Amino acid sequence: MITGVGAVTPLGLGAEQMHRRWVDGVSGIEDGFGRCGEFEPADHLTLKAVRRTDRFTQLAIVAAREALTQAGWEDSSFASNRVGCVIGTGVGGLGTLEAQHDVMLDRGAERVSPLAVPMMMSNAAAGVVAMEHELRGPCWAVASACASGADAIGQALRMIRVGSADACVAGGSEAGVTPLFVAAFTKLGALSPSGIPRPFDARRDGYVMAEGAGIVVLEEEQAARERGAQVLGRVTGYGATADAHHLTAPDPTGGGAARAMGLAMRDAGIGPEDIDYVNAHGTGTPLNDRAETAAIKLALGDSAARVPISSLKSAIGHPLGASGAIEAIATLLALRDGIAPPTLNHDTAEDGLDLDYVPAVAKPLSRAGDDGRRPIGISNAFGFGGHNAVLCIEPA
Amino acid sequence: MTRRVVITGVGAVTPLGVGAPILYERWEAGCSGIDERFGRCSDYEPADHLTTKEIRRADRYTQLAVVAAREAVGDAGWDGGSPYDPERVGSIIGTGIGGLSSIADQRTLIRDRGSESVSPLAVPNMMANAAAGVIAMDHVLKGECYAVLSACASGAHAIGAAKRSIEYGSLDACVTGGSEAAIHPYGVTILGQMGATSTTGLSCPFDARREGFVIGEGAGILVLEEEEAARARGADILGRLAGYGATGDAYHVTVPEPTGSGAAAAITLALAEAEIAPADVDYVNAHGTSTPLNDRSETAAIKLALGDHAMAVPTSSLKSAIGHLVGAAGAVEAVATLLALREGMAPPTINYEEPEEGLDLDYVPNVSKPLRSEANGGGRIGVTNSFGFGGHNAVLCLRAAAANGGERA
């Protein structure tokens, strides 16, 4: 059961804000980057907390507070040792690593901050969020590049299913808009020279690097009902596979990604005919969007042509290790409102990219409300390294 | 029917040499792999194991993982490729910091020569999921694949996550473990500045003179398989991964909770899952970092979790011989624990000279000692502890296959 969601994204503070602005077709991208421009650390954290945490941890803290507030947790809701915390990230505190490296080179090793390690480590967000809310269950970070956030939520789901925890705070966070990362992804040819993300469009030229965090509160169903929690929806399935193909290029047939979608649907006990919406990984790179289209066709068969598919990355860019978590939240809210938010900047079709990408304008999910059933969505996340993670989501 | 998890292969590259058997043999003999204040894998020569292309395309931490994984996969008898549907085999590898050298060196490069000069391989080399991805590619493993990061507990958490996936049924087998290679001037600087590393280069866990950990590097990899499937294929089963417990201290980012309660809870959870009573534990492989705080709180945790039996069970730290392998430590120590249980020996905590009040367990000082005899035909039982900055605790409970080959594992 999902009982709380929180997000800090280039579309603003808060999950609802992100959802509304995306549905309205607003873009959070400026000067070729998706920065969380409305996030002012000092508005949320003490000076000491700001000084002691990397930006990726700060974003996670604020998103987690939103999610926990929405979940309405009180001190006695769960035994603290039965609540886990799993937060994905692609690169953790890279900004801190780079800044302290400059300190070492410019001013000497003895001037490097004693906080460099606890700030830069990729498990800092999970550790700090656990500390703030006294979560004493299983706690770690997941890294699978751009699939990290989705894998983290998938592991939280498993953790609750196998009984290692009654609840888990899970998601992803990233603040990788740093000189080294921008240079490295530019060199790799993955970043958009135009600075405009155009997922599934013929003119797409790469992704726009972004930052942000998305956190969900998952609870075991019975426990959530017993405490009278307001349930927002459910993560019903998780599928994870590896391409074992190439470190930075997706398998062009989409085979590994399609298998992950198939596994997630099977885990949820549903089939392609039950899917009402696909939240695409849709990075806007030439390779991903083609491989992902192939994967969706493989996994959904005849249903692929019918299902609205859109990419949040068209509006906020690609927040790497946070994207899978932010997009899971966006998927839940889209399903709740029975609407497919749009793929912005999409107007030129490419041969073979012929699915319904919901170009430019949001549209209602046509089957929502039929027979009183709730719409079902899947959210795709694929990462460098050949990692594929797919979540199946249903609103309450 | 609960799916159970067995260990069919192990591999390690450590400061004691290339290979899991040599790690055990040299540790058992009391050798030290620490030289000039660091635990380097000096016997590891990349070109002996990898092609020039493979070397160029992988950070050292990934290289160490790849070599350890090849050993483990060979040990499991997977020489002709995995005996399972590739889609049912995972690759889950822990690391503390991934490609730190690549990050630091590339950062220097863009400072000195501009952002254009960055390597096109910078991203795949530095990312913390590279080892998991490259191993998946090397052995064509197409199941779940990711990295786990929980600082010094990463390797143990990765193995625990692999266990969960096999039990849950999403995998039939998994190549899992941890890898780290952070002995780079920058890694040494940031770890040194936080005051956690030894200034003398002496790794002396539980000794009154301890004053910090010695930075080591290396990788440890295990092949885990679902028991029925492993037996069906006639695998040589080395032991069972019987229990896993994970908790968070939620206390402080760099300081362990002094009463050891979170760590003790992880030990208790691992034993409960393995259905093993504290009195049945034959050996404890300590996290034993040689820092003033860890060794004290860990001693408290072992006493809390094992009760009276704590004083009787041999407890030793591999870190005395190889230093602290950070995100690889939990995995290398799981490998060492399994081999110690199989050989029936507790390898020593070397460099142990001065007792400290309150640190009064049997730390197996300097000389290895035999473990007690196998009970009732079952293999010996060990616990291996891993605790990480951030308050992460991960404990694995291992049971070696019985020596007589009768009731195995």
* Per-residue pLDDT, B409: 44
Contacts of B195 in chain A (CB under 8 A): 114
> CA of B286 to nearest chain A CA: how many angstroms apart?
20
Percent of chain B with pLDDT over 70: 98
What the block records as the tokens of A312 is 């949040």
Instruction: Quote the ipTM score.
Output: 0.96
Please identify among residues 15-34 of chain B the ones whose CB lies closer than 8 Å to any CB of chain A: none
From the candidates A19, A133, A281, A346, give the one annotated as an active-site residue: A281
Helix (H, G, I), strand (E, B) or coil at B38: strand
* B287 carries an active-site annotation: yes
Question: Is the Cβ pair A241, B87 closer than 8 Å?
Answer: yes
Contacts of B116 in chain A (CB under 8 A): 183, 187
Question: Is the Cβ pair A117, B254 closer than 8 Å?
Answer: yes
Nearest to B118 among A104, A110, A187 (CB): A187
* Per-residue pLDDT, B407: 41
Nearest to A127 among B161, B170, B253 (CB): B253
Read off the pLDDT of residues A365-384 as tens digits, 9 standing for 90 and up.
977 556 778 999 999 999 99
Q: Name the band, by pLDDT with cuts 50, 70 and 90, for residue B405.
A: low
Read off the pLDDT of residues A11-49 as tens digits, 9 standing for 90 and up.
999 999 999 999 999 999 999 999 999 999 999 999 999
Q: Name the band, by pLDDT with cuts 50, 70 and 90, for residue B306.
A: very high
CATH code for position A379: 3.40.47.10
Closest listed residue to residue A153, CA positions, set A216, A84, A89: A216
* Strands of B145-217, DSSP E: 145-149, 173-180
Give exposure, B284-309, as e/b (b: 16+ Cβ within 10 Å): bbbbbbbbebbbbbbbbbbbbbbeeb
Contacts of B96 in chain A (CB under 8 A): 121
Percent of chain A with pLDDT over 90: 94
Distance CA(B97)–CA(B181), nearest Å, equals 8
Q: Which domain holds residue A109?
A: 2-395
Q: How many domains does chain A have?
A: 1
Question: Is the Cβ pair B392, A139 closer than 8 Å?
Answer: yes
Rounded to the nearest integer, the mean pLDDT of chain B is: 96
Question: Which of 3.40.47.10, 3.40.50.970, 3.30.70.560, 3.40.50.1820 is the CATH number of B5-408?
Answer: 3.40.47.10
* Per-residue pLDDT, A77: 81
* A281 carries an active-site annotation: yes
Question: Is the Cβ pair A385, B154 closer than 8 Å?
Answer: no
- Helical packing angle, B100-113 and B185-193, nearest 10°: 110
Q: How many CA atoms lie within 13 A of B305 on its CB side?
A: 29
Q: Is the dihedral of CA B198, B203, B209, B210 positive or negative?
A: positive
What's the average model confidence in pLDDT over A254-273?
Answer: 97
Contacts of A121 in chain B (CB under 8 A): 96-97, 149, 151, 389-390
Question: Is the Cβ pair A112, B189 closer than 8 Å?
Answer: yes
From the candidates A318, A346, A387, A392, give the one annotated as an active-site residue: A318
Q: Name the band, by pLDDT with cuts 50, 70 and 90, for residue B346.
A: very high
* Per-residue pLDDT, B408: 44
* Per-residue pLDDT, B81: 86
Read off the pLDDT of residues A59-116 as tens digits, 9 standing for 90 and up.
999 999 999 999 999 777 888 999 999 999 999 999 999 999 999 999 999 999 999 9
What the block records as the tokens of B239 is 């032991």
The count of CB pairs under 8 A between chains A and B is: 274
Between the CA atoms of A26, A30, A36 and A42, what dihedral angle is there, to the nearest 10 degrees? -120
Distance CA(A214)–CA(A78), nearest Å, equals 22
* Per-residue pLDDT, B406: 44
Read off the pLDDT of residues B124-159 as tens digits, 9 standing for 90 and up.
999 999 999 999 999 999 999 999 999 999 999 999
* Helices then strands, each counted (H, E), chain A: 14, 13
Q: Is the pLDDT of residue A273 over 60?
A: yes
* Per-residue pLDDT, B151: 96
**pTM of the full structure:** 0.97
Nearest to A123 among B91, B145, B392 (CB): B392
* Per-residue pLDDT, B127: 96
* A387 carries an active-site annotation: no
Q: Is the pLDDT of residue A205 over 60?
A: yes
Distance CA(B153)–CA(A113), nearest Å, equals 23
Q: Is the pLDDT of residue A301 over 60?
A: yes
